[in-house]
Structure formats: structure tokens, C-alpha cells
Chain A
């Protein structure tokens, strides 16, 4: 086990920078998930850590040792690939033992380690099979087994679950998390799936266009997104992000949602900082949908009125898309309430969970904790 450190790491292909000098410190035993859309440089970063891509600048060190010029095999890392990369001409046993044979370990030691890993991953009965006779989940486990047996200092996962169906992905996610609890090795895990990132990570690193957009504990990132990009990327369904006008007096501010609807931001003028327009973000879970007239006790006047565009029943909740003024908002209602399109509903934003972003930079200017009052138009 070892800590891993990236300092101003740059990757350049010709004149194009793919990774723009990122720095990241990963503690010993930490589970870090790098997440971002396709082409954000996350896989390239992982491959640079593995030694499969050279660095154009900066340093990478593992356990305090700079590994920039070391071959992959000299870095004592193990990697699980998106396509598993199991050798079709070898049995599961040979596949798992592959790195151990390469290291010329004694036969008895290889046997012992493979059996141990197979037990841990539930592969004991499959050791004599070829990869072609395994299901997707089993292949994935073999790929992990191949990584575990080598007892590496750092595990690298490159989108390991993206080829599995949704149900199996959830199951394997749990297994990976359990595995980390058991072996406690430093893990760097790359994915474009924010659910995987949220559920697995001790710390999330969100990348965009070769830069780190934000990093932190998953819930921290979820509740305090640093930009509209992070706000839109983390969380399902996606956060509502709508451009709104601002009217502010000496102390208070008012967000104009269009169509006459407005949200008040008491004592919000200082935070708004003289901007005339901002982006308002509300997570669908923080925007309750109720039938008109059932705003509920204690909600006071903090509700908005909207017209339903579409209802999507999810069972225990219903996802409701409704329109206020010219913009559409996604909110959640009770599973028993499925409003019909065209009808009017009441929308109750959670006053403590409003996110405000600058229009020009997309950066957060104020988030949770900002109290609001609502003015019905």
C-alpha cells in the first residue's frame, strides 16, 4: 500500500493538451474516483499513473518515489481494464496467475495466492474454465482477481463496469466496495457514471477538459457543487439549472423566474454582488410537487405555481416536469400523485438547498444555507 501523488501532470499530443497540469494527492488506502464526461482526460490520467502513457510534464510519485520514467511493471500497480483483457486461450486460473508467472514466483505460492483470491471473489468453481464460458460479471471478477493476487500498492480501475447491464453493475459496485474494505489498498477508479462515483468513493475528483473541476467527499460535492458543470454532472435526475434575473435592494434580493414567479433571497444582496442575472440551481429532490392548495402547514408562502408538462411515475415518487414562465423544472412528488399534463401544481423549493452560479464563469456564488421567501406572481 502506498500514497500516490500527481504534481502538475500534463499530457500533450502534438500541439493539443489533453491534461492541463493537474495535481492530486491520494492517501494510503484511499478510494478515489475520477469522474467526468468522455474526453475529459480521466482515462489518460489513469494510464499515466499506470505507465502506459508517458508524461509531457509534471511528476507522478507512488509511495514517495517518482515513477515518471519507470516501466509499468516497475511501479507495482495492478489495473483492471474496461474490456477485462482476459486472455481467451488461458483458463481462469492461468489468467489470474498470469502476473505471478511473469514474476516467476514459486508454484506453491502461486497456487496459494490464486486460491485465496478465487475464494474472496467466489471464483473457486470456475478456475478451470476459459473466459468465453463465463458471464460478464464473472469475467469482471476474474479481471479483479488478476489484479488482487499481485498484492499491488495501487489498484487502477478503468471504467470496469461499463460493459455490464444495470443490475449487474449495481451488484459489482457493492462487491468492489466490499473488496476495498477487505484489502484496504489505494484505489484510483475512473468512470463516467456519477452513481458509481458517489457510491464508491472516499473522494470524488471531477474532471472536465483536462482539468480538475472539483474534488471532495461525495456528499460535499453533491451538496456544494463548485460550478454549474459539477452541479449538472453529479446527481440523478440532473439539477435544474435556469438563468434568472435578479433584483436587489440594499439588503434583500429577488430572483425573477419569469412568468411573474419570483423567489426572495432575504439578506441575499451582498452575495449576489451586483449581478443582474445569475443561474439558479435546484435539485429535483429539493423541489417538491404538490396538488394546488395542499402546500402543507409551515410552507407558508414559499411556493411557486407551475403547469405540468410531463409526469414520470417511478413508483415511490413521481418525477414531474413543469413549466414556470419560459423554463422547465424537474420536481418530485409523492408516488401516489401523478399530475396530468396541462394541470397546475404547486412547487415547493427547499429553502436551504438553493444553488447560485455566476453566468459568465459558471462558478458557485452562494449555495445551501441561503434562505428564501417566495412571491407568487
Chain B
């Protein structure tokens, strides 16, 4: 229904704002809900940053803007704790695990999607079943394995359980299945070997899935707590979540220090998200195929 704005006799459409922009009741509800969700998500973050800028005596005041803003906490954690090292540990392990997951999961996913071989479905189902086992149940076997192989208290010990994931294989297989076979056949006729077809042709076509997998894997490992806590007791090998948790003692918790560390900890996740999210949104897969 369109109402001429300057028609004097026409009754005013209640859903057309004075500016002429049409608003629907559904949109109003949607925006309200989204805003409430956004605020609910933002509040803890805002408090995190605010607390990190406060002195200890002000921590339990609920004011958002600190009375005496200070960077003391940041300086303290870098000067007097091994925070910098934990940051590096987290960065190294998360990055390595992410690269490994991207490489192996997409290779396995591609093979399961594009090659027909005996037992293919069984392999896929077996990989899927690993998704249904909670981490807590796996921790004991991981620990026994790491202990027997002498991997405790090492980067490798922190990383090995995550180097390949069932979820990543599942995600990549689904995306590779969506690539028309003609792309692969054309490359085969053009003389590429199977590995190069995967790398040069298939991988760029699933860029959105790779971006999603990058974000999930990096964030998952960056925030991982339980396994890194179990796998390490050398403070120099702590990852950041484990290190931050060590600020919380039995009788006293240094909230302002934890919040300063947590604020820094969110920065890489923000960077990863901002860099890769646009690849998720840009779905370019089918532009070269007319179907």
C-alpha cells in the first residue's frame, strides 16, 4: 500500500513515519529484540573494560566510568606476571591448531565429498560420532596418552587433541559436496594433479566455509581452559585462560587484573572475526557456474 505523502485528504498511514520511511510492526519488534540481545551481550564486555581500568577498592562499585581511570592493572600484569608469555603460548597453540584443522579437515572433507571409495559412508559416520562424545569424557584418555608419550607440559601436549576435528570434517565435506563436479573434471582435463585440484580449484571455492572454520577453531582454542589446565603445570606453559584463572586464589580474587587480562585476550578474537567474517558473507561459490 503506498500513500502519496502530499495528498491532503488521504488518511495518514500509521506505519509511514513523518520522514516517509515505512516501518512495519514486525520490524519494530525485531529491532527491539535485537537491541535487547545486543545490550545483554555488551554489558559484561563493558564492565570487563571498565573494571580493568579501576583500582582494587573501586572494583565492587557498579559505576561504568571509573572515578580514577588507570592503566596500572595492565602495566602490573605485564610487569609482574608472565602474562606476555601466556599470550604468546595461546597465540602459538591456537594458530597452529587452526592451521592444522584447516589443512587436514578440508583435505578429509574433500576426499569424503568428491571421491567414491568403498567404506566412504562408514568413515564419515565414524567421524561424525566423535562429535557426540563430550570433552570431559575424552580428557582422561587424552591425559593417559599424553603421559605415556611424554607430551605433558609441552605445546604439543596442549595442541594434539585439537589438530583434527570431526566438526571441521563435517563442515568441509558439506561445502565441498556443493561444488559442481564439472570444476574438478575441468581441472583434471586441464592437467592438474589431484592435490593441486584440491588446493588451486576446490579450496578457493569454499572460502566462506574456511573462514567460518577459522573463526570457530581459533576462538575455541583461544578460550580453551580445561585441557590446557590439565596438560600443563609449568606456569611458563600456561595458556591465557589458565593463566588468568591463576589470578583467582582460594581467598582472594584480583578482579581488576583478571579483567585487564581478559580485555587484552579479546583483541585477537576481534581481529580474527573482523578479518574473516566478510569472507563468510561473500558467497562467491556459484558465480562461475550457470545452473
Contacts and interface: CB of A to CB of B under 8 A. Distances in A.
Contacts of A130: 287
Nearest to A139: B290
25 contacts: A72-B188, A72-B191, A73-B188, A78-B190, A79-B185, A79-B189, A81-B182, A81-B185, A82-B182, A83-B289, A83-B290, A84-B288, A85-B180, A87-B201, A87-B204, A87-B288, A88-B284, A98-B190, A99-B189, A102-B187, A102-B190, A102-B192, A103-B191, A131-B288, A132-B287
A100 B188 CA distance: 13
Nearest to B196: A102
Nearest to A78: B189
Contacts of B205: 87-89
Interface in B270-291: 284-291
B78 interface: no
B199 interface: no
A71 B186 CA distance: 13
Contacts of A71: 188
What 9 pairs across the A-B complex have the smallest Cβ distances? A132-B287, A99-B190, A88-B288, A73-B191, A88-B287, A85-B186, A86-B288, A85-B182, A89-B204
Contacts of B290: 83-84, 136, 139, 163
A99 to B, nearest CB: 4
A77 interface: yes
B186 A81 contact: yes
B31 interface: no
Q: How many of chain B's residues touch chain A, expressed as a range? A: 20 to 34
B183 interface: yes
A146 interface: yes
Contacts of A102: 187, 190-192, 196
A248 to B, nearest CB: 55
Interface string A66-81: 0000011100011101
Contacts of B289: 83-86, 88
A8 B118 CA distance: 28
B188 A52 contact: yes
Contacts of B189: 50-52, 72-73, 77-79, 99
A71 B201 CA distance: 18
A101 to B, nearest CB: 9
B190 A87 contact: no
Contacts of B196: 102
Interface in A341-368: none
B64 to A, nearest CB: 46
A73 B192 contact: yes
Interface-centre pick from B182, B183, B189, B291 (highest chain A CB count, 10 A) = B189
Nearest to A150: B190
A162 B186 CA distance: 18
A67 to B, nearest CB: 13
Nearest to B192: A102
A138 to B, nearest CB: 11
A98 B190 CA distance: 7
Contacts of B291: 83, 163
Contacts of B192: 73, 102
Nearest to B203: A89
A83 B185 contact: no
A87 B183 contact: yes
Interface string A314-352: 000000000000000000000000000000000000000
Nearest to A140: B290
Contacts of A84: 288-290
Interface in B239-291: 284-291
A47 B196 CA distance: 21
Given A87-B183, A99-B189, 6 more contacts: A73-B190, A79-B185, A79-B186, A83-B180, A85-B182, A136-B290
Most-contacted residue by chain B among A82, A85, A87, A136 (CB, 10 A):
A85
Contacts of B288: 84-88, 131-132, 139
A276 to B, nearest CB: 51
Contacts of B204: 87, 89
Nearest to B285: A88
Contact of B190 (A47, A51, A146, A163): A146
Contacts of B187: 98, 102
Contacts of A136: 290
Nearest to B191: A73
Contacts of A52: 185, 188-189
Nearest to A104: B191
Interface string B166-198: 000000000000001011011111111000100
Contacts of A99: 189-191
Nearest to B180: A83
A85 B185 contact: yes
Contacts of B201: 87
A50 B205 CA distance: 24
Of A77, A83, A86, A103, most buried by chain B (CB within 10 Å of CB) is: A83
Nearest to A86: B288
A67 B106 CA distance: 32
Contacts of B191: 72-73, 99, 102-103
Contacts of B185: 47, 50, 52, 72, 79, 81, 85
Interface in A100-158: 102-103, 130-132, 136, 139, 146, 150
Interface string B204-237: 1101000000000000000000000000000000
A50 B185 CA distance: 9
Contacts of A131: 287-288
A358 to B, nearest CB: 41
A173 B113 CA distance: 35
A73 B197 CA distance: 12
A150 B183 CA distance: 17
